[in-house]
Amino acid sequence: MSDSQAEKRNEFLTARQLADFLQVSETTVHRLRRSGRIPAVYVTDRLVRFSLRDVRRALSKSADRHGGADRAGEPEPSHDEAQMDFADLLARLET
């Protein structure tokens, strides 16, 4: 496979693989799928795969709509309120 073909190749993951990548539980992955926050590919009625590129794009858009990507000017949350959202998680994984 040439480099350009490899770049165009879409990586499909199981729920477990996606959960490991996002550092969340499989239950969270399926909850996000059922709610429509992340796209899924149904191979059969019971066999589901996730496009990593499409999931990352969907979570980034979701974080942008909810203000997760740009928090300039907001006060720092207290230790009890601090929680990583998907935009923070994706940014950390990209570095």
Residue boundaries of the structural domains of the chain: 3-69+79-94
CB 60 within 8 A of CB 87: yes
8-36: pLDDT as tens digits: 567 899 999 999 999 999 999 999 999 99
22-72: pLDDT as tens digits: 999 999 999 999 999 999 999 999 999 999 999 999 998 877 776 654 444
Helix residue ranges per DSSP H, the chain: 3-8, 15-22, 26-35, 52-65, 86-94
pTM of this structure: 0.61
Domain 3-69+79-94's class?
mainly alpha
Which pLDDT score is estimated for 69? 46
